[in-house]
Amino acid sequence: MTAESLAGNSGGPHPSLKRRGSRATIAADRAATVVLWGTGVFVLALLGSIIIHFAIAAWGVVSPSFILGDLGDGKTSVGGIFPILWNSIYMLVLTMLISIPLGIMAGIYMAEYAAENRVTTAIRFAEEAISSVPSIVIGLFGLILFVDNFKMGYTTLFGALSLTLFNLPLMARLSEQALRAVPQDERGASLALGATKWQTIRHVVLPLAIPGLVTGIILTAGRVFGEAAVLLFTSGQGAPVHYDFGNLNVGAANWWQTSPWSPLRSTSTTLSVYIYTLRSEGLGAFVTQIVDGAAAILISMVLIFNLGARLIGRLLTRKLTAA
């Protein structure tokens, strides 16, 4: 604390040092302080200008009819983006449905059971390895593992499964951290009361870790929402102009292909994939506006996920600890 206040003292060295230290030393210290402050200001300015840029670019494009409207062709009008947005949300929910249980379970093992042995070392290595493998390579792996193996073509489900592979290590690590943050005393007290290890985890550790777990879930959700490279070769490209949400008749011919509720449909371009493909293939007077609007929505979602993680984490902590 004292060291921090010493180090954090913005006035430079203590006055008594000024006489002894050479002028150059003190000038260097001043210059360094200015430069280091400069890096902080630079990052803030950069983020600020990006947000302002998208706010301006989205002005006049993003409207309720853009968000909820049918897909435009980019040539005659801006149109809407709803089918794409639906694909993004569907993909996100499907991915999280698979990866939340898996990730939390893996986190439980690493935090509560893992002994210091070779198996644990191997799991840690695997965790680091998957996180460092480029997302495009994860996508190619998904292409072999799911698309080539099951011979069902490109589907939303395969995209979600590949995103799970991409997401699992981070989800597991964040869950592990959330569980480790629960004080050891809580476990001791529970075990002393005669609870089994699993009862302790299920009824004591997990409830206490909920704020951390929720924060982890939202943070990984933001990453999944923005990912495109993993999806390029695993989920199908394209989206219909309009989705028929009343198409609930599972037995009908083509239901699996056309219904917006089907996980096996091949029309699964998400927002980020849309930005990428429209940029390279889209021709038309309104393409720039559409991409700007889509990017603005993507950025706002990222902001919402980020602030949401913070806010909900804080709220849950307050609620659970004040009980």
Partner 1 sequence: MAQLAAATRLSSLRATPGLRERVDLPRRMVFIAASSMVAVVALLLVFITWQGLQLFLVNGVPVDQILSSTWQPDPANGQVIFGLLPFIAGTVFVTVVALAISTPLSVGLALFLSEVAPRWARAIVQPALEIFVGIPSVVWGWLGITILVPFLHSTFGEDIVVSLPLAGEVLRVPGFLTGFSWMAGALVLSIMILPTITSVSYDSFRAVPQELRTGSLALGTTRWQAIRHILVPAALPGVLTAVVLGMTRAAGEALAVQMVIGNSPSLPGAITQPLTTLTSQITMDMGNTVPGEPWQNALWTMSLVLLAISITSVVLVRLINKRRDAR
Per DSSP, the chain holds a count of helices (H) and strands (E) of: 15, 0
Q: By CB under 8 A, what part of segment 250-289 binds partner 1?
A: 272-273, 275-276, 279-280, 288
Q: By CB under 8 A, what part of segment 174-233 binds partner 1?
A: 185-186, 189-190, 193-199, 201-204, 207-208, 219, 222-223, 225-229, 232-233
Contact residue for partner 1 among 310, 314, 318, 319 (CB under 8 A): 310
| Amino acid occupying residue 301 | M
* Burial 122-154, CB ≥16 within 10 A → b, else e: ebeeebeebeeeebeebbbbbbeebbeeeeeeb
Nearer to partner 1, 226 or 284 (CB): 226
Indicate whether 135 belongs to the interface with partner 1 (CB under 8 A).
yes
Element (DSSP H or E) covering residue 128? helix 118-132
Query: Two tokens at 52?
Result: 């302002």
Q: By CB under 8 A, what part of segment 54-93 binds partner 1?
A: none
Query: Two tokens at 298?
Result: 């993507």
Indicate whether 144 belongs to the interface with partner 1 (CB under 8 A).
yes
* Interface region with partner 1, contact rule CB under 8 A, candidates 63-71, 76-84, 139-147, 239-247: 139-147
| Residue 141, CA distances (Å) to 135, 231, 254, 270 in order | 10, 11, 28, 20
Contact residue for partner 1 among 264, 302, 312, 316 (CB under 8 A): 302
Per-residue binder mask for partner 1 (CB under 8 A), 3-42, x = binder: xx-xxx-x-xx---x--xx---xx-xx-xxx-xxxxxx-x
* Smallest separation (angstroms) from partner 1 to the CB of 43: 6
Q: Can you say how many angstroms the Cα of residue 169 is from the centroid of all Cα atoms in its chain? A: 12
